[in-house]
Amino acid sequence: MSDLVKWPADVDEVIQGDLTAAAAYCTPAGGTVVMAVAPCGIGQREAGVLGFTTSLGFGKKLDRIIRDPHVALAYHAREHGFSANPAFVLAQGTASVDLTPSRDRLEALIPQAERYLGKVMRARYGIGCCTSTTRSGSLWISSCSGSPPGQTSALPVRDR
């Protein structure tokens, strides 16, 4: 059993409250792409798992994450979310991608997504989103309780 990241309640408030986050993933040429994603509060503190939703129409992003699952999520802005905590949270880890989410999985996500994004429009051919979860890696927290502004604390974990 590996040691998973367990983050404090004030960090969980950021993770559960941000409307948008920046997701970074690697390109085949060795570069990095950073793109806005909707985390919709997907995070299970006890399990050390974070996640975000994205459209299945963004095939290159998903193909690249599948090819090289090393990802980072930066929780950086509170303007349109539900948290007033000013902390910058950076999570790095290994992602898994579900390219064929079941109808039940999508339906379970709807109430959570609607809190952040408004009424979900249901299409005849289903909801175009998938979830990627960060299962292991490091969590970096800046300017949260216990760390003076400008200081960074790291919570490392081992890969499974």
* Residue 119 vs residue 129, higher pLDDT: 119
The mean pLDDT value for 53-64 works out to 80
The CATH homologous superfamily to which domain 9-142 belongs is Electron Transport, Fmn-binding Protein; Chain A (2.30.110.10)
How does DSSP classify residue 68? S
* Residue 113 vs residue 132, higher pLDDT: 113
Residue 93 CA: distances (Å) to CA of 33, 133, 135, 136, 137: 15, 9, 6, 5, 4
Residue 2 neighbours by CB under 8 Å, 6+ apart: 136, 157, 158, 159, 160
Q: What angle do CA 22, 137, 14 make, to 5 degrees?
A: 45
Burial of 24 from C-beta contacts in 10 A (0-12 / 13-18 / 19+)? middle
pLDDT, tens digit, 9 for 90 and up, residues 122-144 = 654 433 444 444 444 555 655 43
Q: Which of 2-6, 8-12, 28-32, 97-101 has the lowest mean pLDDT?
A: 2-6
pLDDT at 12 over 80: yes
pLDDT at 2 over 60: no
Structure tokens at 14: 């950021």
Q: In which band, very low, low, confident or very high, does the pLDDT at 22 lie, cut at 50, 70 and 90? A: very high
The mean pLDDT value for 20-27 works out to 92
Half-sphere exposure of 38 (CA within 13 A, CB side): 17
Q: Which of 12-21, 56-65, 134-143 has the lowest mean pLDDT?
A: 134-143
pLDDT, tens digit, 9 for 90 and up, residues 63-105 = 898 899 889 999 998 887 888 898 899 988 888 888 888 888 8
Q: Where are the domains of the chain?
A: 9-142
Find the distance separating the first CA and the last CA of the chain, reported in whole Å: 7
pLDDT in the model for residue 62:
85
Residue 68 neighbours by CB under 8 Å, 6+ apart: 25, 26
8 Å CB contact between 57 and 18: no
pLDDT, tens digit, 9 for 90 and up, residues 27-51 = 999 999 999 888 888 888 888 888 8
pLDDT at 114 over 80: yes
